[in-house]
Amino acid sequence: MLNKIKGNINLKKDIHVQNCKFEIICFSVITLFSYLWWIINFNQYANYQNIKGQETLLSMFVFISIIFFSYFLILFNDRNEIRNIELFISIVLALIVRLVLGILFYGHPIDINCYLAWMNAAANDLFNIYEKEMFIDYLPGYLIALSLFKKISVMLSLNVPDILIVKLPNIISDIILGLLVIKIKRKMQLNIYRKDILILLFNPLFIILSAIWGQSDSFVIMLFALVLYCLLFNFDILAGFTIAYLFFTKPQFALYFILIVIYWLFNILKKTQIKQMYSQIFAFFVTSFLMYLVFMPNREILWLIKLFWKIANEYPYYSVNAFNIYFVFNLNWVKIKDKFNYLGYILLVTIYFLILISIVTVNSKKNCRDERINIFKTILRGGLIISVFSFSCMPSMHERYLIFGTLFLMLLYVIENSVEYLLKLLILSLLSFMNIAKVLLLSFSNNYFIYRDYSNMLVALFIIIFMLLTFYYLFSEIVFEKVKMYLPYILKYTKFKKTD
């Protein structure tokens, strides 16, 4: 018997070693491909005699970022806990790195020019901004942030360039996001390691978006993380307020707002946490109503619906530089012929339905320590599926929209305390980073169209493969576990019927 037990232990060790070797080989292939991709797309700009050139600086940053990803993908076993002083130094250093890059780079020309115009207009007359005769396709949430930072710099007479002010909401949001995730890990009574801090605070994906590009995505992701934090730890009023504010900030949040509605309905129908749910819903509707009234232009009742419709129809293309299935089929910036992509929407509704089934049945699992946390995990897994699916298969996707998936993976890693999710986070961050870096590079020369070459098509294929594997693993958890759970009862019932 003892020999048999030793044999089983040795077999498990051999399987673990084989799995580790396979993972290292896969990650080595991914990082090798990343360096080759950099050589094809960025090596021509690595002219160190022109060190002040935007393209050269970006080329250097991308190369350093690939080294960062390579290190953590292949040498990810560091389990050293971080001390408080190290955490403080990391936060300060992460902020300094972003501020320096924010000054060195102008950013994406179209986005930065729009933000500068909107910031100055909002700082002078925020609540009447939609009545002004200027192009504006943003919801008021982000305009409030731009206006606030501009007013603070004026009030304090700070000599800060406007180019940095428009990036500050996102730069600070990056730091707050890292602190929120650390706070969640501490509340879950989990150890915080040095690698966690490096990946959370120095992830090149977030740095390139907030400090170099200057996009609003970091601000949105931080708000979304705050929503999930409040839902998990029952900060009900703040949760409702933040959900409403986020709804008035980014139209893409509507994809994930459905998950929150499912969460509300499930708890109300099941009569659990009713007081908390009603508090969240009340705060959401009150905040939404106030923001709707405050920003209503010229008493136009349907202004928000018209703005949503305008934003939705602004890019009627299969892909807007997103490395997805449409990019693979050479449909980048090609107008959508059909009015609606019925197949994509049908699959999206199916995903919501499967997530609902999983939430409804999650409390049926035996030995469930905390039903609410398990429901929350299901919502995070569902959000991850929606993120990678919508980016890969839905039309009109921009190059940046995979960032929502990185948030869900980040939180799944913290709550599950699983290295597997950390590795998935790194891979998805790397793939999204490559897409964004290529688009940003071309924008410096006022080129906003990416042709389908082999290197970028391979990145798109890797993203599609990531989506398919995510579907397989997560739906095996969501669906197949339920089948295993109920299969004995089904077999017992059918057997009973036959005996009758």
Residues whose CB is less than 8 angstroms from the CB of residue 167 and which lie 6 or more positions away in sequence, other chains included: 102, 107, 210, 211, 214
Same domain, 251 and 387: no
**Residue 197 contacts residue 82 (beta carbons within 8 Å):** yes
Q: Which amino acid is at 428?
A: L
Confidence of residue 499 (pLDDT cuts 50, 70, 90): low
3-state helix, strand, coil in the chain (%, to 5): 75, 0, 20
Separation of CA 347 from chain center: 21
Same domain, 310 and 397: no
Quote the pLDDT of residue 221. 96
Residue written as tokens 């599609």?
464
Same domain, 274 and 297: yes
How buried is 258 (Cβ within 10 angstroms: 0-12 exposed, 13-18 middle, 19+ buried)? middle
Same domain, 325 and 255: no
Q: How does pLDDT run across 419-470, given as a tens digit for each residue? A: 889 889 999 999 999 999 999 999 998 898 988 888 999 999 999 999 999 8
Quote the pLDDT of residue 18. 46
Q: What are phi and psi of 53, to 5 degrees?
A: -70, 140
Same domain, 399 and 441: yes
Dihedral class, residue 234 (left if φ above 0, else alpha if ψ from -120 to 50, else beta): left
Same domain, 294 and 369: no
Residue 491 has pLDDT above 60, yes or no: no
Quote the pLDDT of residue 93. 96
The number of folded domains in the chain is 3
Burial 324-351 (b: 16+ CB within 10 A, else e): bbbbbeebbeeeeeeeebeeeeeebeeb
3-class DSSP state of 398: strand
Quote the pLDDT of residue 479. 58
Among residues 314, 341, 375, the one where a domain terminates is 314
Same domain, 404 and 477: yes
Residue 94 has pLDDT above 60, yes or no: yes
77 half-sphere exposure, CB direction, 13 A CA radius: 5
Among residues 17, 52, 75, the one where a domain terminates is 75
Same domain, 224 and 252: yes
Quote the pLDDT of residue 16. 41
Confidence of residue 399 (pLDDT cuts 50, 70, 90): very high
Among residues 314, 329, 357, the one where a domain terminates is 314
Q: In angstroms, rounded to a whole number, what is the distance separating the alpha carbons of residues 188 and 353? A: 29
Residue-range definition of the domain harbouring residue 230: 76-314
Per the model's pLDDT, the better-predicted residue between 120 and 46 turns out to be 120
Confidence of residue 368 (pLDDT cuts 50, 70, 90): very low
Q: In angstroms, rounded to a whole number, what is the distance separating the alpha carbons of residues 113 and 111? A: 6
Mean pLDDT computed over every residue of the chain: 85
Quote the pLDDT of residue 358. 75
Quote the pLDDT of residue 4. 45
Same domain, 299 and 374: no
Same domain, 458 and 418: yes
Q: How does pLDDT run across 197-241, given as a tens digit for each residue? A: 888 999 999 999 999 999 999 999 999 999 999 998 889 999 999
Same domain, 195 and 271: yes
Same domain, 236 and 325: no
Q: What is the pTM of this model?
A: 0.90
